[in-house]
Each structure stands twice: as C-alpha cells, then as structure tokens.
A = this chain, B = another copy of it.
C-alpha cells in the first residue's frame, strides 16, 4: 500500500485496510469512474491504469485538475464531502477497487493513526492542486508543461512505473493540454519545443527525460509539495 511510503503501518492497520476493499471492477478507457453531482456510497482506489479528475465549463472546455496513477485513492474525499463537485475519468482502461464509506467510517472510529494517514493522502492531493495553481498562474505554457512532466516522473517513480529516465504516459496531447488549460494546438507546439531543445523525448506513450536539470529549471520544479517523505504522523 502506498500509505506505507508516508509512515509505517501496524499489522492490524494493514489488515484493516486490505479488508476494506469490497469489490474490484474493470472500466474501459474513456468512461467516467465517478460522475459529477453524484453521491457515491463507496470511494474508489485505482489499482491499474490512469485516471483524471475534470470539470467542464459551459463553453465545453475540459479542465483536468488532477491525474491519478496506480495506487491513488481517486475520490477518497467523497467519503466526507458526500457530493462530487467534479467527475473522474478513466484515461486508460482501469482496474478499480471500491471501498464502502461505511467501512471507512469504521476505520476512523477504530484506527486513529490510519485515519491520519488517509487524511494525509487527501492533503497531498490538495498540495498538488495549490502547486498547479501557482504554476498555471505564474509560469508560461512551456514552464507549466515542463513542471507537469517532472511531477509525472516522480510520482510514477514512487510506484515503480519508471524505467530509468523513461516512463509510459498514456495521455493524448489534447488531454495534456486540458491539464494545462491551453489549446491542443499550443500544447503541440510547446512539446515540440521541449523535444527540439533536447529536454525530453515523447513518442507514442513513451516519455524520456533527457535533461532533468534543465527541465526542472524551466518548470521551476521543487518536489516539496509532493511530500514524499516517511515520517511519524
């Protein structure tokens, strides 16, 4: 479990978490895992595949506010927020596990330390949202793109989905653009710039970071906000 990257779990806590998983389901790419406005009775753990949270504007523009990788609890917040204020989309085919809110509630009654770690995982999501805001508001599109690629790399690395400086990133340029809040056309030009300047390679689904230092500098990337550190919580 990913929570163990943040703090040690006791045997009992680990068992309780494993037992919390009620049912596993496969969802094809392009389908919503969770609909906006719904009131889920379960929270969704992403076992395999990539998912994105998004919301549409009236003009039909889709803003992706977070991308989730295997191991992420994509809508743990619905346990307490009750109503979904955004949707969650399967960016690729996904295998997901449902965790009933009634079970989560029992966990919070019996396992305070585990509760703090679950809480923490939602706080890390929030920290990423803040970082996206800073980068979206303060950097140019190319800086923003560089930042996002750095983030993807580190997050995939912690779950063992990188191979050296390479990783599979199954996002179309249009989806990538929707993360940045720019048009697909502009995203395309930005990516060409990052490639031609030798910072990255991106062919099909394979991204390779050829010059981390320069990429991180362009994206003003500082990993503090990912809070990837094990300490007592």
Contact = CB atoms under 8 A, between A and B. Distances in A.
A126 interface: yes
B59 A138 contact: yes
Interface residues of A, number: 50
Contact of A115 (B115, B220, B229): B115
Quick one: copies of this chain in the complex?
2
Contacts of A112: 108-109, 112, 115
Contacts of A134: 55, 57, 63, 65, 86
A80 B119 contact: yes
A134 B229 CA distance: 29
Contacts of A131: 55, 85
A48 interface: no
A86 B82 CA distance: 28
A158 B109 CA distance: 30
B77 A123 contact: yes
A79 B58 CA distance: 38
A138 B220 contact: no
A130 interface: yes
For A116, A133, A182, which residue has the most chain B Cβ atoms within 10 angstroms?
A: A133
For A53, A125, A224, which residue has the most chain B Cβ atoms within 10 angstroms?
A: A224
A109 B116 CA distance: 10
B80 A116 contact: yes
Contact of A130 (B83, B85, B124): B85
A79 to B, nearest CB: 9
A122 interface: yes
A2 interface: no
Interface of A: 37, 53, 55, 57-59, 61, 63, 65-66, 77, 80-83, 85-86, 108-109, 112, 115-116, 119-120, 122-127, 129-134, 136-139, 180-182, 220, 224-225, 227, 229, 231, 233
